[in-house]
Chain A
Amino acid sequence: MNAPLFNPSRRDVLAGALVVSFSLRAIPSLAQEQENVSKPPLPGSLKKAPMLDAWIRIDADGSVTVFTGKCEIGQGVKTALIQVAAEELELDPHAIHLVTADTARAANEGFTSGSNSMKDSASAIRNAAAQVREILIGIAAERLGVAADRLRAQSGAIIGPDNRRAAYGDLVAGNVLHVTAQPTSKLKAPDTLKIIGQSLPRIDIPGKVTGGVSYVHDLRLPGMVHARVVRPPSYDARLQSIDTSDAEKMPGVIKVVRDGSFLGILAEREFQAVTAMHALAAAAKWDIATKLPDETNISSIIESLPAEDHVIADKHAESASATRTLQAVYRRPYQMHASIGPSCAVASFDGDALTVWSHAQGMFPLRQAIAEMLRLPEEKVRCIHMEGAGCYGHNGADDAAADAALLASALPGRPVRVQWMREQEHQWEPYGPAMVSRTRASLDAGGNIVDWWYEVRSNTHSTRPPGAGQLIAARHLETPFTPGPPRPGDQPEGAGDRNAVPLYVLSNVRVVHHFVPDMPLRVSALRGLGAYHNIFAIESFMDELAAAAGADAIEFRLRHLKDKRARAVITAAAERFGWSSWQAAKGKGRGFAFACYKNLAAFCAVAVEVNIEHESGHVRLGRAIAAVDSGQAVNPDGIANQIQGGIVQSASWTLYESVHFEPRRILSQDWSTYPILRFGTVPESVDVYVIDAPGEPFLGTGEAAQGPTAAAIANAVANATGVRIRDLPLNSARVKAAIGV
């Protein structure tokens, strides 16, 4: 996300390479070769932390601890990482203790984002585990005087032919694991895997369904106090004056903290803090400066803002002559993460060092930002990840951590717990940016695409830390920090331009990313980044082209695809859905869409059925079927869970969601002003087919369903009504307006 600023020449080369090779998965390795030509790269995050004992520790008592710099954010990564380690270490998964992101203990793996945890952390842990196993076998060979190839690892011990055994704990004397990882490891052969590929039940679920301490929200430390912040009524409003005396006199109140426009209150009990917060809010006088744009024509405003243009694909070849050309404009509004649990953090300052418990996605960048904000040396700040409610990207978590840090430093010696109110989460979280794309393509007489032109316009998709200026509280201080310059993100992963380059075989293609630095509303990473919009646009347009070519939507896609795995998920989803035998009926529609997330992660195809009530325009979801290829599937049920969730969440974005605002403030402040999908209208069924790819690299899955689902629904609505709607969301009013009386 915080990659170096874009370099056009390289991006063009890569884009070219992509189109020729029909797949971007070639590119990371290609990119690495450019970086370290000499020796082959270490797998995954071993590149960042090459010492084996940064990942795996074995104590004399034989207990095994695995460390990851990634966080559990409801995606089930803990369970998957334990499976990977247990497999190569030949251990029972329950024998492994996993430590997640903690600046004092785990490797710096940056952010848990972009569906990269399996690619980065699982690859590192699997290779480290295999190398640790081989090291232990080597030591045992000497100990037992037996050739290494006659020894095997089994449930915590190395076992020889004569069944003599040496327990792991006895083999690790000294720093035997404090060695640098090798580029290649002796990984277990796909056909010998026992734990990888099993749907091991998630280790975190039993606690969550019985009331265990599962979230930072549940953390209770001795002497802990409760805090609430009072936010300005709008982004740039400044605190003009406030009389805090009444609030300070309220029961349980310990103190009011004010620094510039940052306002917080500390109390013994949580509801006392809430009550005092309301009193404080009522007493505050603000200068309201914010001037938000007009929501109704936000997309033309986005199009009118100055932009940096990045050509990310530009390739031209001989091709048949065009017989007809189609063009279209697709729009997506601001949409929010809207976590079900408002952001929360606990911080404790002993007068010298600060500890912060947070559900943010990057503990190291958060530490950097908080240290800068408090003007503390980084080593005086420790950030420990604890779970929160699902975040789906950069929500209020980092900001709540900053609030807790500021308030804790105002009350040394007592841990401070801050939780945001619902209104604060809705109004202050950074939204997924509104986007616009314009596309044009031509067909030849045979109905094949001969040229493809696509331009997408977007804000940045990351305003994450590091940089104190990225934290709301830091911007409100008497001496405020200012955010760093927004970044466009970098191909091949891309941000606003993520998945802007189709995976289809196109002889002439030009794709331009118009990066818009000015941000009318606060924005950042929302699950899938630009891929949600770009796939919605590209896969909708593919259906429009198929219709123009008089071709079936599936056949038309396959006609333009070479990638075997892409074709496989498309065929699988179509078959499971019963695409060819599907019966049309009035008000009923079917839709299909496909994407390879980031053109280098999981392949996902989605088919949906909708029923549209003509009088109201309300879209009701019927069956949804998905096929997904995530490479070597570590936990198939975990993959299915992510895709199912992604489909339902994306359906909610696509049918209902857009952030509402007026010049002075954000209007979407709660669930009444930002409605989402409820049980009453979730699909009849959502079935996910996981296609295993033994021996293939792990491919990120968490965000793979967002784009295809949006396009599949839009295509189904078009199929049901005969009208193409290119603006999201596809809410009743918009659909009714489109189909008319």
Chain B
Amino acid sequence: MAFSLLLIVVLGATALFFATHLSIPEDRSQRVFAPDLVRRGGELAALGYCASCHTAENGKPFAGGRPLATPFGTLFGTNITPDPKTGIGLYSQAAFARTMRDGIDRAGRDLYPVFPYNHFTRLTDEDLSALYAFLMTRAAVPAQNPANHLTFPYNVRPLLAGWKLLYLDKNPVPRDQTRSAEWNRGRYLVEALSHCGACHTPRDRLGAEIASQHFDSGEAEDWWAPPLNHKFPSPVSWSEESLFNYLRSWDVGHGGAVGPMAPVVAALATVPEQDVRAIAAYVGATLAKPGESEKRVDEKQPQAAEAHPQGAELYAGICATCHETGGHVPFTVTSLGQHTSIYAPDPRNVIHVVLEGVRPPEGTVGAVMPAFADTLSDAQIADIAAYLRARFSRGGEWQNIEAEIARLRRSTSP
């Protein structure tokens, strides 16, 4: 606490010095773009999942309004359609580039790092202009979004200038000559555009990704975001191929994405295959555990049933209907033990799925799991979670599961 106060003071001082940025003049010119540039921009926007933060639930694409909860308060995804009043319609390419690279909007205000410019700052000029071309050719949607609710001192924007001094590394993504072109391509996409670290790397007190703990696991919308490196806790190992399948749709060994990762996979399904293969090559390499080959789920069923008889019975009566059929029900894997969430340090992901269920976008093929919020009590869900944990994971028991369930019920129920 003392430390962060001190920091704030230091930041405050530096801020006063740096925090004044000029606004960039309005650009009202007629913009024309090469169709190929726009198309590529669309692919890059999908690889960067712009829509997921900049689109509200059932809202117009890119019109913003999605609440993004952070430890510092709630921010709202902004309108990045070319609407002149409420969107970015008046942004020149220079203003757009400054926003993406320096986290400073056209008017000269510093932006919060929940907008991951710490990644985008490393995008190439070509990719930036493609993204600009794409966004500027979207339908302009007039949409005024709610103001952010941030607590002091985080609501003092100028402090962000100091934050940037401390954290904003603008160096391009380095090339590793010892690695394949595909791997390097993947590294660039992941670090500069797809910003996987924004969720999968832990953040410090001031919300910055901790570089020394790159991909060690993080947070996304109150879900646990697993490590993308050797710390990956599940015994079911990843290959480039299985990761590619997972990122593209669904993998027979690991199942499919749920929660905040689902829209990511939905977006990756629309981009050129080689981009996803490149991402799989880079992340697959960091995920691989040294000297590890295909590992099996090891079950401790009898002990688990003994320790959690209630959970075992509920599992047999409910979950097993689909999850004990050896993968015969579509989109179920042979064992729930293949799902990463069971190896997480906390039960949030399991709870989310049981409470909320899983549903693909209307009219598309994808896993369907009913929500059990109305069927099961907190105690019953806790029994199931404890049983699954004990049956499959060598990690310790989860603590205060029931309290977590109650908390998530409150935060997720409308």
Do A and B come into direct contact in the complex, CB within 8 Å?
yes
Does A616 reach chain B (CB closer than 8 Å)?
Answer: yes
Does A660 reach chain B (CB closer than 8 Å)?
Answer: yes
Interface hit among A367-375, A471-479, A544-552, A675-683: A675-683
Does A272 reach chain B (CB closer than 8 Å)?
Answer: no
Bound complex: CA A615 to CA B61 (Å): 7
Bound complex: CA A614 to CA B60 (Å): 10
Q: Mark out the residues of chain A between 663 and 684 whose CB falls within 8 Å of any chain B CB in the assembled complex.
A: 667, 669-675, 677-678, 680-681
Chain B: CB-nearest residue to A674: B365
9 A-B residue pairs with Cβ-Cβ distance under 8 Å, sorted by A, are: A282-B326, A614-B139, A672-B360, A672-B368, A673-B331, A731-B363, A731-B364, A736-B270, A741-B42
Does B300 reach chain A (CB closer than 8 Å)?
Answer: no
Bound complex: CA A423 to CA B331 (Å): 13
Q: Mark out the residues of chain B between 48 and 69 whose CB falls within 8 Å of any chain A CB in the assembled complex.
A: 51, 61-62
Return the CB mask of B319-359 against A: 1 if under 8 Å, else 0: 00000011011110000000000000000000000000000
Whole-angstrom distance between the Cβ of A378 and the nearest chain B Cβ:
39
Bound complex: CA A671 to CA B331 (Å): 11
Chain B: CB-nearest residue to A677: B363
Bound complex: CA A740 to CA B51 (Å): 17
Bound complex: CA A282 to CA B325 (Å): 9
Does B367 reach chain A (CB closer than 8 Å)?
Answer: yes
Chain B: CB-nearest residue to A615: B61
Does B38 reach chain A (CB closer than 8 Å)?
Answer: yes
Given A669-B330, A741-B134: A618 and B362 interface contact (C-beta under 8 Å): yes
B365 touches A660 (CB 8 A): yes
Residues of the A chain whose Cβ atoms lie less than 8 Å from the Cβ of B365: 660, 672-675
Bound complex: CA A669 to CA B325 (Å): 14
Chain A: CB-nearest residue to B41: A741
Bound complex: CA A675 to CA B270 (Å): 20
Bound complex: CA A420 to CA B40 (Å): 49
A680 touches B362 (CB 8 A): yes
Chain B: CB-nearest residue to A233: B328
Residues of the A chain whose Cβ atoms lie less than 8 Å from the Cβ of B205: none
Residues of the B chain whose Cβ atoms lie less than 8 Å from the Cβ of A586: 139
Does B366 reach chain A (CB closer than 8 Å)?
Answer: yes
Residues of the A chain whose Cβ atoms lie less than 8 Å from the Cβ of B38: 741
Within 8 Å by CB of A673, from B42, B51, B138, B330, lies B330
Residues of the B chain whose Cβ atoms lie less than 8 Å from the Cβ of A736: 270
Bound complex: CA A672 to CA B39 (Å): 31
Whole-angstrom distance between the Cβ of B233 and the nearest chain A Cβ:
28
Bound complex: CA A279 to CA B107 (Å): 68
Chain A: CB-nearest residue to B367: A672
A670 touches B139 (CB 8 A): no
Bound complex: CA A278 to CA B367 (Å): 21
Bound complex: CA A586 to CA B62 (Å): 17
Whole-angstrom distance between the Cβ of B35 and the nearest chain A Cβ:
8
Given A586-B139, A613-B61: A732 and B363 interface contact (C-beta under 8 Å): yes
Whole-angstrom distance between the Cβ of A295 and the nearest chain B Cβ:
12
Return the CB mask of A394-430 against B: 1 if under 8 Å, else 0: 0000000000000000000000000000010000000
Does A656 reach chain B (CB closer than 8 Å)?
Answer: yes
Whole-angstrom distance between the Cβ of A421 and the nearest chain B Cβ:
11
Known pairs A616-B61, A660-B365, A733-B270. 20 more at Cβ < 8 A?
A: A282-B326, A615-B51, A615-B61, A615-B62, A618-B361, A618-B363, A656-B363, A672-B330, A672-B366, A672-B367, A673-B331, A675-B363, A675-B364, A680-B362, A681-B363, A736-B270, A741-B35, A741-B38, A741-B39, A741-B137
Chain A: CB-nearest residue to B43: A741
Does A655 reach chain B (CB closer than 8 Å)?
Answer: yes
Residues of the B chain whose Cβ atoms lie less than 8 Å from the Cβ of A278: 325
Bound complex: CA A736 to CA B270 (Å): 10
Bound complex: CA A353 to CA B360 (Å): 50
Secondary structure call for the A interface: loop
Whole-angstrom distance between the Cβ of B42 and the nearest chain A Cβ:
4
Bound complex: CA A678 to CA B363 (Å): 8
Given A613-B61, A614-B139, A616-B61: A732 and B330 interface contact (C-beta under 8 Å): no
Residues of the A chain whose Cβ atoms lie less than 8 Å from the Cβ of B330: 667, 669-670, 672-673
Given A669-B330, A675-B360, A680-B362: A740 and B39 interface contact (C-beta under 8 Å): yes
Residues of the A chain whose Cβ atoms lie less than 8 Å from the Cβ of B325: 278
Chain B: CB-nearest residue to A731: B363
Residues of the A chain whose Cβ atoms lie less than 8 Å from the Cβ of B62: 615
Return the CB mask of A613-645 against B: 1 if under 8 Å, else 0: 111101000000000000000000000000000
A732 touches B61 (CB 8 A): no
Bound complex: CA A678 to CA B362 (Å): 8
Chain A: CB-nearest residue to B37: A741
Residues of the B chain whose Cβ atoms lie less than 8 Å from the Cβ of A678: 362
Chain B: CB-nearest residue to A614: B139
Return the CB mask of A134-170 against B: 1 if under 8 Å, else 0: 0000000000000000000000000000000000000
Residues of the B chain whose Cβ atoms lie less than 8 Å from the Cβ of A616: 61
Residues of the B chain whose Cβ atoms lie less than 8 Å from the Cβ of A671: 368
Whole-angstrom distance between the Cβ of B293 and the nearest chain A Cβ:
27
Residues of the A chain whose Cβ atoms lie less than 8 Å from the Cβ of B35: 741
B363 touches A672 (CB 8 A): no
B134 touches A732 (CB 8 A): no
Residues of the A chain whose Cβ atoms lie less than 8 Å from the Cβ of B331: 672-673
Bound complex: CA A614 to CA B330 (Å): 30
B329 touches A670 (CB 8 A): yes
Chain B: CB-nearest residue to A652: B363
Bound complex: CA A731 to CA B157 (Å): 45
Chain B: CB-nearest residue to A736: B270
Chain A: CB-nearest residue to B329: A670
Whole-angstrom distance between the Cβ of A678 and the nearest chain B Cβ:
6
Whole-angstrom distance between the Cβ of A312 and the nearest chain B Cβ:
35
6 pairs of A and B residues whose beta carbons are closest in the complex: A615-B61, A741-B42, A672-B368, A656-B363, A673-B330, A741-B39
Bound complex: CA A680 to CA B325 (Å): 31
Residues of the B chain whose Cβ atoms lie less than 8 Å from the Cβ of A680: 362
Return the CB mask of B361-402 against A: 1 if under 8 Å, else 0: 111111110000000000000000000000000000000000
Whole-angstrom distance between the Cβ of B37 and the nearest chain A Cβ:
10
Residues of the B chain whose Cβ atoms lie less than 8 Å from the Cβ of A656: 363
Return the CB mask of A585-605 against B: 1 if under 8 Å, else 0: 011000000000000000000
Residues of the A chain whose Cβ atoms lie less than 8 Å from the Cβ of B326: 282
Bound complex: CA A616 to CA B61 (Å): 9
Whole-angstrom distance between the Cβ of A666 and the nearest chain B Cβ:
11
Return the CB mask of B53-88 against A: 1 if under 8 Å, else 0: 000000001100000000000000000000000000
Residues of the B chain whose Cβ atoms lie less than 8 Å from the Cβ of A618: 361-363
Whole-angstrom distance between the Cβ of A427 and the nearest chain B Cβ:
11
Residues of the A chain whose Cβ atoms lie less than 8 Å from the Cβ of B328: 423
Bound complex: CA A731 to CA B366 (Å): 14
| Residue with the greatest number of chain A CB neighbours at <10 A, chosen from B38, B362, B363, B368 | B363
Residues of the B chain whose Cβ atoms lie less than 8 Å from the Cβ of A667: 330
B363 touches A655 (CB 8 A): yes
Whole-angstrom distance between the Cβ of B326 and the nearest chain A Cβ:
7
Q: Mark out the residues of chain B between 206 and 256 whose CB falls within 8 Å of any chain A CB in the assembled complex.
A: none
| Residue with the greatest number of chain A CB neighbours at <10 A, chosen from B134, B329, B330, B361 | B330
A615 touches B363 (CB 8 A): no
Residues of the B chain whose Cβ atoms lie less than 8 Å from the Cβ of A669: 329-330
Bound complex: CA A670 to CA B138 (Å): 37
Within 8 Å by CB of A732, from B329, B364, B367, B368, lies B364
Bound complex: CA A428 to CA B138 (Å): 45
Chain B: CB-nearest residue to A667: B330
Bound complex: CA A615 to CA B51 (Å): 10
Residues of the B chain whose Cβ atoms lie less than 8 Å from the Cβ of A733: 270, 364
Chain B: CB-nearest residue to A656: B363
Q: Mark out the residues of chain A between 82 and 141 whose CB falls within 8 Å of any chain B CB in the assembled complex.
A: none
Residues of the A chain whose Cβ atoms lie less than 8 Å from the Cβ of B360: 672, 675
Chain B: CB-nearest residue to A740: B39
Bound complex: CA A376 to CA B8 (Å): 92
Bound complex: CA A667 to CA B38 (Å): 36
Bound complex: CA A733 to CA B249 (Å): 14
Residues of the A chain whose Cβ atoms lie less than 8 Å from the Cβ of B61: 613-616
A681 touches B362 (CB 8 A): yes
Whole-angstrom distance between the Cβ of B363 and the nearest chain A Cβ:
4
